[in-house]
Amino acid sequence: MYNDLPKSASVVQKYGGTSVGDPQRIRAVAARVARYKAAGWDRIAVVVSAMAGETNRLVGLMREVNPTGDHRTKAYDMAVSAGEQVSVGLMSEALEAHGVASEPLLAYQLQILTDEKHGQAKIHSIRTDFIENAWKNGRIPVVAGFQGITSAMEITTLGRGGSDTSAVALAAALKAGFCEINTDVDGVYTADPRYVRSAQLIEELDYETTLELAALGGKVLHSRCVELAAKHRVPLVVRNTFGPDEARRTRIMSFGEEKALEAPVVSGITLDEDVAKITVRQLPAGNAAIKSIFSEVAHKEINVDIIVHDHQDDGTVNRVGFTVQKHDLEPAVKAVESLRSQSQLEGLQVATQTNLAKVSAVGLGMRSHAGVALTIFDALAKNEVEILMISTSEIKVSCVVPLAQGKKAAQVLHGVFFESAK
């Protein structure tokens, strides 16, 4: 139960695809909502994803119908958004079955206005009067995640992590007490429990650290949703849908200066096993070539992660290395090679490497604790993990290592920061 929350406050409860994966689970979620309403929290808004697997099924049908289409069209968004629509109808009906009056709502009703980028739209605004009216009439609003509409009333979808983003945007518009992300894990952990058995649930996190954890391969929350929550200062709660009401969970909020000072040096260790590296050699002197490379890659909408630039002392021969996700390797290489058509760059040499992983330590405390990077390099070296690239910021240290050593590297770092202290 929400013991810290006044009953006058509003809450957004978001339920993901596995949480609404079959009729039985939908009924169990409805039972939970009914329990909270009966206890007096009646300003709850429910946001639902499509049933697990449904969006992929619809995307698959779309590809079969038009294998060569670009699939960022209004037709695509109309078909793909149907999964959330079904979940809304089912959840609303399940609430009725539990004696809770409800109001099923789609994007066109709430006026979840977005830009016109089909398949990856961004939310501009949400009207809250339908939600407030539902509450006034004693109803629980049930809202379709992942979808929006353009000003011309055409359906859009929000892309990856879309339903979480819908929930946070709605919570921001409602100035909700918090936005609860109900999922299939208990919260955010200090490392992935699948390969670090001693990983611990993190009870409190600040937005910044959460963002780095998400960006570095922590799969619980999508960066976009955390960014939006940070921007609007919406507290997030990540919990297991089918866990007990009082089970431990992760709360994500703004720490404030005082709390930030007390934050642990390192909050979590992440591992990203989807890393490929491109090394470009024989660059002419000066920064123009480097700029050409990254503007060409950015133009293809490829995200570059770590960049290592070894400037040679004599200034005549130059090289640059950078990492991308594996599926971006081929287009990135093509982008770089296309520069050879420029006479100055015709000598470019491009090499690639794919069996790589990136292990990172993230935490607000690094800002004030010197020597964290040294501890990391030292621990990895002692355990014979080969470090291929390094990237550091105020709150994270990332090392690219051979893929075969990735899990070991994560275990080593988790041991140093979370286990040796005990």
Q: Which residues, numbered 156-185, are part of the site for its own copies (CB under 8 A)? A: none
Please select the residue that binds its own copies; options are 9, 28, 34, 78, rule is CB under 8 A. Answer: 78
Please select the residue that binds its own copies; options are 10, 49, 102, 411, rule is CB under 8 A. Answer: 102
Which residues lie closer than 8 Å to 399 by C-beta, 6 or more apart?
358, 359, 360, 376, 377, 380, 385, 387, 388, 389, 390, 409
Which CB atom, from 22 or from 419, has the smaller least distance to its own copies?
22
Please select the residue that binds its own copies; options are 16, 17, 104, 217, rule is CB under 8 A. Answer: 104
Q: Rule CB under 8 A: is residue 58 a binding residue for its own copies?
A: yes
Please select the residue that binds its own copies; options are 12, 46, 79, 225, rule is CB under 8 A. Answer: 79
Q: Rule CB under 8 A: is residue 272 a binding residue for its own copies?
A: no
Q: Rule CB under 8 A: is residue 101 a binding residue for its own copies?
A: no
Options 60-68, 296-304, 369-377, 380-388: segment touching its own copies (CB under 8 A) = 60-68
Q: Rule CB under 8 A: is residue 405 a binding residue for its own copies?
A: no
Which CB atom, from 155 or from 188, has the smaller least distance to its own copies?
155
Q: Nearest distance from residue 97's CB to its own copies, in Å?
A: 4
Q: Rule CB under 8 A: is residue 373 a binding residue for its own copies?
A: no
Options 64-72, 228-236, 319-327, 394-402: segment touching its own copies (CB under 8 A) = 64-72
Options 23-31, 230-238, 315-323, 350-358: segment touching its own copies (CB under 8 A) = 23-31
Q: 187: closest CA among 117, 251, 265?
A: 251
Options 41-49, 86-94, 230-238, 349-357: segment touching its own copies (CB under 8 A) = 86-94
Q: Rule CB under 8 A: is residue 77 a binding residue for its own copies?
A: yes
Which CB atom, from 63 or from 259, has the smaller least distance to its own copies?
63
Please select the residue that binds its own copies; options are 11, 46, 47, 94, rule is CB under 8 A. Answer: 94
Q: Rule CB under 8 A: is residue 90 a binding residue for its own copies?
A: yes
Residue ranges that bind its own copies, judged by CB under 8 A: 23-24, 26-27, 58, 61-62, 64-69, 73-83, 85-86, 88-90, 92-94, 96-97, 102, 104, 106, 108-109, 153-155
